[in-house]
Chain A
């Protein structure tokens, strides 16, 4: 079973996402901040990371960059999810190493399709 790391500080949101992912045959690890995200990414080696940019302890882009710098986590595909209308957020995400940037509110079907596509590619 493919396992996804969901980095999102709104726990209700990530819980709903978890149910959705599990219904589609994926496993989900939920974390609420950047520090935990880095820790879990290193210890559990998820197959894909869903990363919210607005985190309580650090900028999501920074988390993204750190994951891409470390040899053990470099190859894990990252999908950035953002609710804030930051200028150029797509470009910034790509520069930080994310494969894809989805803006909230995204369609769940779209997210699932992209996850499946990315996991097949890797």
Chain B
């Protein structure tokens, strides 16, 4: 009797628990169903465990029946979101990617897809979650802001250049002789026009940098050339102020993988600043090899210096501390924040040390050559996107040049001569050469690879050497045969 009562009591408790679970589950389902983002959960077996209606809408999969694991998989695959692959499921970090999907009205939208691993409390993987958010408006707003800045800047430049040329014409005496006062006024006008031109170009740069729209055009370069070019630009100005610019770099220079124009811009800003705020003493530009494959660059002056409080704000926009101190020391206050962003874009770091009244030293450290993975990521995204959009093939070659004694400019020119204009090639760490061949099928990629090998073999001394060509090897990866994403292609190459 007692046993039966006990059993009944247990049954009632169980039923209550069931109801509670059902109600909690219902609540969760309502939440998942009604949030504005699309949600897809894929379990470890590769089955779709959860897909809310928003996700179905965005993926264009209509009804619940249509959203079978198969169909979802197909759809995600075409978007390059390979959520069903184990590798994807086991990774640690959240991956975000923007793709073209549909919004609630069924019209196209840009969706940010965030893929994150799902784990239980003990940390065991349970699957992956995909969250789809409509970011069309956000993207449009960003686009409008940067379009606005760039259009305004260009529209400002035209009238400015007319004013500048007009003033220069009179100032140069082309239209007749000037008296000293006229000359003085026009010189002031010209100097301020130049200032305005600088301000506009700095504003344009900072807005592009902040919008993440500056793409580095990196290639191999020698820092020596860059430093000498910049120092040359300021030589006359320094002489006028009675200052000496000391240059301190290794005799053979230092090779670096960087965007030349941007690096020049960094040095111009730093040397320009140093010159502006220094009235006696010396400027020193030094470049040396740092630890762990880095380059350390330093621009030091014996100028007015920066106080401790101001030092913290030195990289913020529109900060100028020398204003009160010197005449003619006018700038945009954007220089250092541009420098910081450009250095960081190169994955480098910048720091400032200064003592009021004694001088300032700005140091930045840049990584030298980049790993194949990074190079590949950087160079492949655009060509692969174009290939995917136009449905054309793409091949990538990765050469291992360790067997080569030297890889010089002449050889590079010869290899370049074999390639079409839209091809891209770049040297990476550990004597690797990456060649990207848009609109090239696997077969043609192989032919080109053999021709490039031919160039290298001609350079192995002596010409008909005993060396086997096997010492210089290469790998080939082609889109679409070897995979759809940059990850697939890279795996093929490494």
A113 at the interface (CB under 8 A from B): no
Q: Are B158 and A10 touching (Cβ within 8 A)? A: yes
Q: How far is the CB of B277 from chain A (nearest CB, A)?
A: 26
Main secondary structure of the interface of A (DSSP, over half): helix
Q: Give 16 new A-B contacts, CB below 8 A, not counting A10-B158, A13-B165, A84-B154.
A: A10-B162, A12-B162, A13-B158, A13-B162, A16-B162, A16-B165, A19-B169, A20-B174, A23-B174, A83-B157, A83-B158, A83-B161, A85-B154, A104-B157, A104-B161, A108-B169
Q: How far is the CB of B273 from chain A (nearest CB, A)?
A: 23
Give every chain B residue within 8 A of A17 (Cβ-Cβ).
165
Task: Indicate which residue in A12, A19, A23, A105 contacts B157 across the interface (CB closer than 8 Å).
Answer: A105
Q: Are B164 and A19 touching (Cβ within 8 A)? A: no
Return the chain B residue nearest A13 by Cβ.
B162
Give every chain A residue within 8 A of B387 (Cβ-Cβ).
none
88-118 of chain A: CB within 8 A of chain B: 104-105, 108
Q: Are B160 and A19 touching (Cβ within 8 A)? A: no
- Chain A positions within 8 Å of B, measured between CB atoms, are 10, 12-13, 16-17, 19-20, 23, 83-85, 104-105, 108
Task: Indicate which residue in B161, B168, B174, B175 contacts A13 across the interface (CB closer than 8 Å).
Answer: B161
Task: Indicate which residue in A16, A83, A85, A104 contacts B166 across the interface (CB closer than 8 Å).
Answer: A16
Interface CB pairs A-B, < 8 A, 7: A13-B158, A19-B169, A20-B174, A83-B154, A83-B157, A108-B165, A108-B168
Q: How many residues of B contact A (CB 8 A)?
A: 14
Q: Are B174 and A19 touching (Cβ within 8 A)? A: yes
Q: Are A105 and B160 touching (Cβ within 8 A)? A: yes
CA distance A17 to B169 in the complex (A): 9
- Nearest first, the 8 A-B pairs at minimum CB distance are A105-B161, A23-B174, A16-B165, A12-B162, A13-B162, A16-B166, A104-B161, A16-B169
CA distance A54 to B304 in the complex (A): 46
Give every chain B residue within 8 A of A10 (Cβ-Cβ).
158, 162
Q: Are B169 and A20 touching (Cβ within 8 A)? A: yes
B189 at the interface (CB under 8 A from A): no
Give every chain A residue within 8 A of B203 (Cβ-Cβ).
none
Return the chain B residue nearest A106 by Cβ.
B161
Given contacts A13-B165, A105-B164, A105-B197, contact A19 B158 (CB under 8 A): no
Given contacts A104-B161, A108-B165, contact A19 B197 (CB under 8 A): no
Give every chain B residue within 8 A of A105 (Cβ-Cβ).
157, 160-161, 164, 197
Q: Give per-residue flags for B401-438: 1 if the beta carbon is below 8 A from chain A beta carbons, else 0.
A: 00000000000000000000000000000000000000
CA distance A23 to B158 in the complex (A): 23
Task: Indicate which residue in A19, A85, A104 contacts B175 across the interface (CB closer than 8 Å).
Answer: A19
CA distance A16 to B159 in the complex (A): 12
Q: How far is the CB of B218 from chain A (nearest CB, A)?
A: 16
Give every chain A residue within 8 A of B168 (Cβ-Cβ).
108
Give every chain B residue within 8 A of A84 (Cβ-Cβ).
154
Give every chain B residue within 8 A of A83 (Cβ-Cβ).
154, 157-158, 161
Give every chain B residue within 8 A of A23 (Cβ-Cβ).
174
Give every chain B residue within 8 A of A20 (Cβ-Cβ).
165, 169, 174
Q: Give per-residue flags for B289-321: 1 if the beta carbon is below 8 A from chain A beta carbons, else 0.
A: 000000000000000000000000000000000
Return the chain B residue nearest A85 by Cβ.
B154
Q: How far is the CB of B409 from chain A (nearest CB, A)?
A: 19
Q: Give per-residue flags for B139-166: 1 if the beta carbon is below 8 A from chain A beta carbons, else 0.
A: 0000000000000001001101110111
CA distance A12 to B161 in the complex (A): 11
Q: How far is the CB of B102 from chain A (nearest CB, A)?
A: 32
Q: How far is the CB of B187 from chain A (nearest CB, A)?
A: 16
CA distance A83 to B164 in the complex (A): 15
Q: Give per-residue flags for B160-188: 1 if the beta carbon is below 8 A from chain A beta carbons, else 0.
A: 11101110110000110000000000000
Q: How far is the CB of A105 from chain B (nearest CB, A)?
A: 4
Give every chain B residue within 8 A of A16 (Cβ-Cβ).
162, 165-166, 169
Return the chain B residue nearest A17 by Cβ.
B165
Return the chain A residue nearest B173 by Cβ.
A23
CA distance A108 to B172 in the complex (A): 11
Task: Name, among B160, B162, B165, B174, the residue most crowded by chain A CB atoms within 10 Å (CB to CB).
Answer: B165
CA distance A10 to B166 in the complex (A): 13
CA distance A12 to B159 in the complex (A): 9
Q: How far is the CB of B435 from chain A (nearest CB, A)?
A: 20
Q: How far is the CB of A101 from chain B (nearest CB, A)?
A: 15
Q: How far is the CB of B200 from chain A (nearest CB, A)?
A: 10
Q: How far is the CB of A11 from chain B (nearest CB, A)?
A: 10
Q: How far is the CB of B371 from chain A (nearest CB, A)?
A: 27
Give every chain B residue within 8 A of A108 (Cβ-Cβ).
165, 168-169
Return the chain A residue nearest B421 by Cβ.
A91
Q: How far is the CB of B196 from chain A (nearest CB, A)?
A: 11
CA distance A62 to B175 in the complex (A): 36
CA distance A77 to B234 in the complex (A): 33
CA distance A12 to B165 in the complex (A): 10
CA distance A85 to B155 in the complex (A): 12
Q: How far is the CB of B466 from chain A (nearest CB, A)?
A: 42
CA distance A20 to B160 in the complex (A): 17
CA distance A10 to B158 in the complex (A): 9
25-44 of chain B: CB within 8 A of chain A: none
CA distance A20 to B169 in the complex (A): 7
Return the chain B residue nearest A16 by Cβ.
B165
